[in-house]
Amino acid sequence: MSTGSFNPFEMAQAQFDKIAEKLDLDQAARELLREPLREYSTAIPIHMDDGSVKVFRGFRVQHNDARGPCKGGIRFHPQETINTVRALAMWMTWKCAVVDIPLGGAKGGVICDPHNLSLREQEQICRGWIRQIARDIGPYRDVPAPDVMTSAQHMLWMLDEYETIYGEKKTGLITGKPVGMGGSLGRTEATGYGVIYTVREALKELELRPEMTRASVQGFGNVAQYAIQLYQQMGGTVVCVSCWDQEDQKSYSFKKEGGVDRDELLSVTDRFGGIDKNKALDLGYEVLPGEAWIEQDVDILIPAAIENQITGENVGNISEKVKVIAEGANGPTTPQADKVIEERGIFLIPDFLCNAGGVTCSYFEQVQSNLNYFWEKDEVLGRLDTKMTSAFVAVSELARKQKMYMRDAAYVISIGRVAQACRDRGWV
Ligand code: GLU
């Protein structure tokens, strides 16, 4: 979502330019990688329940496929913009490269608000988007997945439309499908769990025991919910969770000094992660303004909602106590805030490393779907842990050796890998 003059694509390009300079990339590689390879903008006419016809706008941006088919989610968001999708597509390229899976980067979006759409209308948007884009995606070309406000059900509708068009089963088209319909066990948990695998490794480096730490989380959607679950299983305490309330279009922070209870909060949450504040008050939560999550005296901050949340204006409110920031969301920190975090020496786990668990598990799902042979959940999560941990260790070793900020180290590894693939193919 773009607010005010914030342009996430300019931010993604600025991050890229900084590392291109560090790596001394040649001009052609810079030109190729700082823009998407391809992008599509489509109109999706939908017959609404009230008999009217509404035209929705959809996007798909394929940033780079030198290392393998493009990969990335599709978002349903009322403030979606092409620049947000471009930035997110570019971040997907770096994300797949940093965990070293053989995929490129893409992202999709439709400007719509599922809160105000019936299930039938949402199904029509899914099918309409596929009809527009079917020729340009595919199991060996570009593989979509769930993202902000899209679910396994949306993925299945999209797959069904695609298979209807092509007249054959092609389950490798899309990931994040329901289990039993080509989905992988562990995919729902994967992004949130992946965040915590990296937090666990960061705490090891800082010689902190998880059970001695406290965290504050922004968001209560799929990523946040499973991050909280695993962190609590490791013995950590979450004292504050903040989320958006659709009804009054504001966000709130829900605090319990002794620790929030994930299941209790879930019982008063709608399917988009909006918490009913009156019910939360009844359950003994303090209900604070949305921004309060960032000011808590905790060891770990986990922004796990959307982009542009830790900014030049609020970065100064981060407590002296904070030692780790784990970016569960894509692009939550603006460049101004990032500078302050780096100067303060907070251990940052950058978004495209921290939240790479989702796409890593999507890769496992693709492998399983294409072979039509499915693994046990323990096997999926075990492999996920191994992938995330080795990616984390590679980045933090580079950061330590070269005295580099974690975000820069992650970029050096991924941009280096993608640029190499482009050179190896003879593109640049
Ligand atoms: N939407 C997720 C992300 O931003 C997952 C993408 C995927 O599984 O392809 O990483």
**393, two tokens:** 């260790």
Give distance in angstroms: CA of 107 to centre of ligand 1: 8
CATH at residue 91: 3.40.50.10860
- Whether 199 and 150 map to the same domain: the answer is no
Annotated active-site residue 71? The verdict is no
Residue 129 lies in a domain: yes
118 contacts 49 by C-beta, under 8 angstroms: yes
Among 63, 75, 80, 191, name the best residue to mutate to test ligand 1's pocket (greatest count of ligand atoms within 8 A of Cβ). Answer: 191
Using the atom order of ligand 1, give the atom closest to the CA of residue 363.
8
Same domain, 155 and 202: no
Written as six digits, the tokens of 237 are: 């305490």
Is pLDDT of 3 > 60?
no
Q: What is the mean pLDDT of residues 56-75?
A: 98
**Co-location of 101 and 140 in the same domain:** yes
19 within some domain: no
Please indicate, yes or no, whether residues 197 and 296 belong to a single structural domain of this protein. Answer: yes
pLDDT at residue 273, rounded to an integer: 65
CA distance 330 to 337: 15
pTM: 0.95
Q: What per-residue string of b and e applies to 327-363 under the rule 16 or more CB within 10 Å gives b?
A: bbbbbbbbeebbeebeeeeebbbbbbbbbbbbbbbbb
Measured from the CA of 88, which atom of ligand 1 is nearest? 4
In terms of domains, do 221 and 323 share one? yes
Which of 107, 170, 256, 387 is flagged as catalytic?
107
Any bridge partners for residue 105, and if so which?
64
pLDDT in tens, 306-328: 999 999 999 999 999 999 999 99
Residue that is last in its domain, among 143, 170, 197: 170
Q: Is 380 inside a domain boundary?
A: no
Q: Could you tell me if 253 and 322 lie in one domain?
A: yes
Domain boundary, last residue among 170, 196, 228: 170
pLDDT at 2 over 50: no
Confidence band of 298 (pLDDT split at 50, 70, 90):
very high
Are residue 72 and residue 160 in the same domain, yes or no? yes
Domain identity same for 162 and 201: no
- Quick: pLDDT tens for 380-408: 999 999 999 999 999 999 999 999 999 99
Pair 248, 108 in one domain = no
Q: Which residue has the tokens 């009809």?
A: 131
Residue-range definition of the domain harbouring residue 100: 36-170
In terms of domains, do 45 and 166 share one?
Answer: yes
The answer to whether residue 262 is domain-embedded is yes
Q: Is residue 99 part of a domain?
A: yes
pLDDT at position 1, please? 43
Among 359, 360, 361, 380, which is best to mutate for testing ligand 1, by the most ligand atoms less than 8 A from CB? Answer: 359
Q: pLDDT tens digits for 123-165?
A: 999 999 999 999 999 999 999 999 999 999 999 999 999 999 9
pLDDT at 72 over 50: yes
Residues 6+ apart with CB under 8 A from 194: 354, 355, 356, 357, 358, 360, 361, 384, 388
Question: Tell me: the pLDDT tens digits for 226-253?
Answer: 999 999 999 999 999 999 887 778 999 9
Confidence of residue 62 (pLDDT cuts 50, 70, 90): very high
Using 50, 70 and 90 to split pLDDT, how confident is the model at 4? low
Q: Establish if 227 belongs to a structural domain.
A: yes
**Binding pocket residue ranges, ligand 1, CB within 6 Å:** 71-73, 95, 145, 147, 175, 330, 355, 358-359, 362
Q: How far is the CA of 182 from the centre of ligand 1 (A)?
A: 17
Q: How confident is the model at residue 329 (pLDDT cuts 50, 70, 90)?
A: very high
What's the whole-number mean pLDDT along residues 189-207? Answer: 98
The CATH number covering residue 292 comes to 3.40.50.720
Share of the chain above pLDDT 70, in %: 98
Q: Which two tokens stand for residue 198?
A: 């990296």
pLDDT above 90 covers a percentage of the chain that reads 93
Same domain membership, residue 254 and residue 337: yes
Best residue for ligand 1 mutational test, from 362, 366, 388, 414 (most atoms within 8 Å of Cβ): 362
Mean pLDDT of the chain: 96
Count of domains forming the chain: 2
> Tens digit of pLDDT for each residue in 102-123?
999 999 999 999 999 999 999 9
Identify the pLDDT of residue 370.
87
21 assigned to some structural domain: no
Q: Is residue 149 part of a domain?
A: yes
